[in-house]
Amino acid sequence: MIAHSPTAFKHDLFLQIIQKVNNSSIFYDSITFYLEEEPKLLNELLRVITTKVDLSKVVTLMKNAGYLPIIVEWLQSVQNKNNQAVNDALNSLYLEIEDFDALRESIAKFESIDALGLAKQIEGHDNAEFRRISALIFRRNKKYEKSIQVSKEDEQWRDAIETAQESGNPKLAGELLEFFAQEGLKEFFTVCSYTCYELIRPDKVMELAWRNGMSDFAMPFFIQMVSELTRKVEKVEKKNEEREKKDEKKKQEEITQNLVDPGFIGGMGAGTGMPMLMGAGMNIQQPPMGGMGSMGGMGSMGGMGSMGGMGSMGGMGM
């Protein structure tokens, strides 16, 4: 069909046959053939052989031929594979036609790109939206200082503040806050101090606000600081209360345990002269009832016989 296209070529039949080909070189010959004779049908061919070709090689082939824009439709259909050659080709096309919305969406979804090369390419673009995209790319690649610089040049203050916060760098956040103070940008002084709250020292905020007559604009920062300190104090107090309750409960449990401990009670008896009532192996015997008839013998109970003649009670024998 390729060799005798005027008489043998039929597009539908060609697409059916090309899917059965095993020789990979024929795929690229087919792309060249369609580019020369059927450029409007090239995207259909590419869709059929997408899984059989190297995406990067196709992009290079079309770029060298100078007809890359012809396959934009196909490039968009395969961009979900996140191939760098495809992504870079589309981004360059979006830049060429100045479609900054499409470019922003592309770099947001597909990170496999020559990021820094693209950022430097559009950094000095006449369109401010492209310069803003440049700052975004620098930011995503952790070139925070460069990103803030680009944003400041275009007066994209909120972009600069968000970049400073994302950087986590107290130095960058402090320098940006100082810039807002010196330039008299009071509202953005407030936004920066509040947004970068965790990165900026309170004494720096207070000094800049006092020196530049922005005390009122620093209030949101200090309200946040007081609120956080209050929460921390309340948290510490709560922990202390819980610890004290646990200690008190532990003491009560120890006292209760000692009161029911036999060894503890036995020790108390030994120390106070009280008889041990619960000694191990203790045998308490009752006196024989029958012996009461011989109470006359009570005189023999120690010295009780001398108690007013009680010894004569022997006559009480029944």
Q: How confident is the model at residue 271 (pLDDT cuts 50, 70, 90)?
A: very low
Proportion of the chain above pLDDT 70, given as a percent: 81
The radius of gyration computed from the CA coordinates of the chain, to the nearest angstrom, equals 48
Please count the other Cβ atoms lying within 10 Å of the Cβ belonging to residue 19.
11
Q: Provide the pLDDT for residue 56.
A: 96
Q: What is the mean pLDDT of residues 27-45?
A: 94
Which tops the pLDDT comparison, 267 or 53? 53
Q: What is the mean pLDDT of residues 217-227?
A: 92
Q: What is the mean pLDDT of residues 72-88?
A: 95
pTM: 0.67
Distance CA 198, CA 90 (A): 40
Each residue of 105-143: pLDDT tens digit? 999 999 999 999 999 999 989 999 999 999 999 999 999
Short-list 89, 25, 99, 37, CA closest to 63: 89
Which tops the pLDDT comparison, 287 or 18? 18
- pLDDT at 193 exceeding the cut of 50: yes
CB 131 within 8 A of CB 164: no
Distance CA 132, CA 140 (A): 12
